[in-house]
Structure 1
Amino acid sequence: MSIKKTIDSAASRPVAALGVSGTRALLGFVGLMYYLSHYGDRSYLFGPGADSVLPHRLFLEQIQEKGSFSLYAWSTSEVWFEAVFHLGVLAALAVTVGVGGRAVLAAHGILLWSLYERQSAFLDGGDNLAQLVIPFLLLTNCYQNFSFSSGVADRVVGRLPGSVRALGVPLHNLGVVAIAVQMCLVYVVSGLYKVQGDVWQDGTALFYIMRVPEFELPGLSNLVYNNDLLVFLGTYSTTLFLVYFPMGILVPSLRPWTAAASIAFHVSIGVFMGLTAFALTMIACDLIFLSSALSRARKLARTLRERWTQKQPGSIPTVTDQDAPESDAPAPVPVPQAAR
């Protein structure tokens, strides 16, 4: 295939549409979980009162030193604090269920950033990735699946000139590739840092990590760090997986297996170390590599559902869209899309 045809194909066929929608929904859920888990103590943890963990004066000094911003820094009013906090809850919920489109997604990103800046003591690293990925999601059509559409956005887009509408697919693919590149950088940089550590080189890192009180799971962690073989295999397999993750993603036949291994890896981090938000954020971004696998699973579920429905007494055969072309069809270009 010529370079021109390859470029035309990449610019005319959206990739990972199902996976990127899952990324949006799961990132929204992580933000919603963060809001609700601290809801009862919100005034003490984030409020502007004198009895809060971080007094408003010190908070303003931190913001100025970092050159950052936060909506919570605009006023010391309790009314303002409650309004911004509850707007954040509603925005996170809307992003999770797929309501409001890109405008609400952008608002969610700003509100969540503001909350993270207000109190950074509870962050576990997943917040950094989320704040990097949300702007990329704004380029994508991440509301194509797992969402509720009012039709307003479609009518607005329909009024745009054709040349502007034609940019939708290239921008979508650009956003997907940007997320994929960001994920590869996260894995490789993390792996290379580990390679330089003595405890990772001698295969004992997992022993020390799982004995940290904050990251220990009583009754299970000791079964791992007291087993020399599990510690050895866990330490070296983690390093190898992180360093060679991009190679697994670049090979289409290995891509879904690499993403599935990454998800299993972060599920174990969430269970054993309690870093739930971090684990779910990483899993959300891994979904773009599983888009075609998710499409096949959805098509199989529709087929099984139709067969089960037709076997029921009195059922009426219906026409389904299981044979309709999927938007996640693999394109003959090196994009983060699992091959069929």
Structure 2
Amino acid sequence: MSGVWSGIVTYWRDLWRAWNQFWFAPTDPATLCLIRVLAGGMLLYTHLVWSKDLTAFFGPDGWISHELAAAKNAERLTIDPFGWLGSPALLWTVHVGFLIAFFCLFIGLWTRVTSVLAAIGAIAYATHVSPGAFFGLDKVNCMLATYLAIGPSGARYSVDRLLRIRRGEVDDPASSSSANLALRLMQIHLCVMYLFAGLGKVKGDRWWDGTATWFTIANDAYRSTDMTWLANHLYLLDFLTHATVAWELSYCFLVWNRFTRPWILAAAIGAHLFIAFCMGMQTFGWAMIFANLAFFAPALVRKACDPVAGRISLALAGSGAAAPA
């Protein structure tokens, strides 16, 4: 009996150790920092475009009045973050402030503070009931911004890092438990997104009969590249349709295995490049590719990015300084 009890205790102890290892094992923040650069640039661009007609989207006399926004948010049990901005001047002040936060996140300046402000800003714009402010891109922006605020996303490839170099702090950024936690949250979030995307597709007849891909590329509203030549290759259309569903449903299972991960990520990059260049959703396609980088090993990221970051650091910090990334 004591042997059985000992086995049970060992099992739960090993399970607890594996759980902690998965979520909190210190890891090099290189992958998180690369995502910060790319996602920060995307956040800056996608919110900068609101400036073309800011008051029409978010102002008190815009397309969606604050009263209607408040009513809609009451239904969704959310708060309209722009409802208290009673004048265009105040709206522009807040907007410019958030743009500065997005820019600072992009270049990695005061990252521990600006990453939090950027996450608040992204959520604020997406929460407001505004035409065009709550699509897939906005949700991915919010996801990435939130998790970037958790880990040391400015440890590498950042102005913060450059300032440390100029002060003589040339030590290599330490591995971090919070960097691992942030990346794990991104990874789990992606798995949930793809799983439910696949489950949603299996409810549609066109995904079963193989015609969904054709109706996608034949839709003028989304067509940015003419792919209608695929009508002469029905078997390929059928394959792409069923492969998309199979990939989304299997993503959350196969992406964790080191042998199948490269194929799953290659399919993800291919699918989102198709969305970006053939369906007219460039920003969403690229944002999803940036999110999938969470599964890239830090060693691979450093091998690709450190030489470039090192040259930039050397040029900006002065030839007398070392050139870590």
**TM-score, normalisation: structure 1:** 0.75
Using a 3 Å threshold, how does the CA distance of structure 1 residues 15 and 261 change in structure 2: closer, same or farther? farther
Identity of aligned residues (%): 21
Q: Where do 1:257-268 residues align within 5 Å?
A: 257-268=263-274
Letter in 2 for 1:14: P
**CA distance in structure 2 between the partners assigned to 1:270 and 1:169 by the alignment:** 33
Matched, 1:287 2:286: no
Matched pairs, number:
294
Q: Where do 1:59-98 residues align within 5 Å?
A: 59-98=69-108
**CA distance in structure 1 between the partners assigned to 2:135 and 2:66 by the alignment:** 23
Structure 1 ranges of 4+ moved more than 4 A: 2-13, 150-154, 299-303, 318-322
Using a 3 Å threshold, how does the CA distance of structure 1 residues 230 and 106 change in structure 2: closer, same or farther? same
**CA distance in structure 1 between the partners assigned to 2:163 and 2:309 by the alignment:** 28
Q: Deviations over 1:70-89 (max 9, x none)?
A: 33111221111111111121
Q: What SS does the aligned partner of 1:40 have? A: helix
Using a 3 Å threshold, how does the CA distance of structure 1 residues 129 and 40 change in structure 2: closer, same or farther? closer
Residue 270 of structure 1 corresponds to which residue in structure 2? 276
**CA distance in structure 2 between the partners assigned to 1:153 and 1:240 by the alignment:** 47
RMSD of the alignment, in Å? 3.3
Using a 3 Å threshold, how does the CA distance of structure 1 residues 65 and 13 change in structure 2: closer, same or farther? closer
**CA distance in structure 1 between the partners assigned to 2:189 and 2:271 by the alignment:** 18
Superposition deviation, residue 150 in structure 1: 7.0
Residue 36 of structure 1 corresponds to which residue in structure 2? 48
Superposition deviation, residue 301 in structure 1: 6.7
**CA distance in structure 1 between the partners assigned to 2:197 and 2:20 by the alignment:** 35
Tell which has more relative contact order, 1 or 2 (C-alpha 8 A, sep 6+): 1
Using a 3 Å threshold, how does the CA distance of structure 1 residues 8 and 202 change in structure 2: closer, same or farther? closer
Contact residue 201 and residue 245 of structure 2 kept, 8 A:
yes
Contact residue 248 and residue 258 of structure 1 kept, 8 A:
yes
Letter in 1 for 2:286: L
Equivalent residue for 1:255, pick from 243, 251, 261: 261
Superposition deviation, residue 248 in structure 1: 2.9
Letter in 1 for 2:209: D
Contact residue 248 and residue 254 of structure 1 kept, 8 A:
yes
Contact residue 37 and residue 105 of structure 2 kept, 8 A:
yes
Residue 297 of structure 1 corresponds to which residue in structure 2? 304
Residue 8 of structure 2 corresponds to which residue in structure 1? none
Q: Deviations over 1:256-307 (max 9, x none)?
A: 443233122111101111222322221121111123322233467799x8xx
**TM-score, normalisation: structure 2:** 0.78
**CA distance in structure 2 between the partners assigned to 1:224 and 1:238 by the alignment:** 16
Using a 3 Å threshold, how does the CA distance of structure 1 residues 102 and 180 change in structure 2: closer, same or farther? same
Q: Which is worse superposed, 144-153 or 280-289?
A: 144-153
Contact residue 72 and residue 84 of structure 1 kept, 8 A:
no
Equivalent residue for 1:233, pick from 239, 244, 252: 239
Residue 24 of structure 1 corresponds to which residue in structure 2? 36
Equivalent residue for 2:150, pick from 139, 151, 154: 139
Residue 161 of structure 1 corresponds to which residue in structure 2? none
Q: What SS does the aligned partner of 1:183 have? A: helix
**CA distance in structure 2 between the partners assigned to 1:8 and 1:63 by the alignment:** 38
Give the unaligned 5+ runs of structure 1.
Answer: 155-165, 306-315, 323-340
Residue 185 of structure 1 corresponds to which residue in structure 2? 192
Superposition deviation, residue 183 in structure 1: 0.7
Q: What SS does the aligned partner of 1:99 have? A: coil
Q: Where do 1:111-150 residues align within 5 Å?
A: 111-122=121-132, 123-149=134-160
Using a 3 Å threshold, how does the CA distance of structure 1 residues 277 and 153 change in structure 2: closer, same or farther? same
Superposition deviation, residue 226 in structure 1: 5.2
Using a 3 Å threshold, how does the CA distance of structure 1 residues 16 and 151 change in structure 2: closer, same or farther? closer
Using a 3 Å threshold, how does the CA distance of structure 1 residues 237 and 9 change in structure 2: closer, same or farther? closer
Using a 3 Å threshold, how does the CA distance of structure 1 residues 299 and 277 change in structure 2: closer, same or farther? closer
Give the unaligned 5+ runs of structure 2.
Answer: 1-12, 166-173, 312-318
Contact residue 23 and residue 181 of structure 2 kept, 8 A:
no
Residue 5 of structure 2 corresponds to which residue in structure 1? none
Contact residue 40 and residue 106 of structure 2 kept, 8 A:
yes
Using a 3 Å threshold, how does the CA distance of structure 1 residues 93 and 225 change in structure 2: closer, same or farther? farther
Using a 3 Å threshold, how does the CA distance of structure 1 residues 6 and 276 change in structure 2: closer, same or farther? same
**CA distance in structure 2 between the partners assigned to 1:240 and 1:183 by the alignment:** 16
Matched, 1:194 2:201: yes
Using a 3 Å threshold, how does the CA distance of structure 1 residues 12 and 143 change in structure 2: closer, same or farther? same
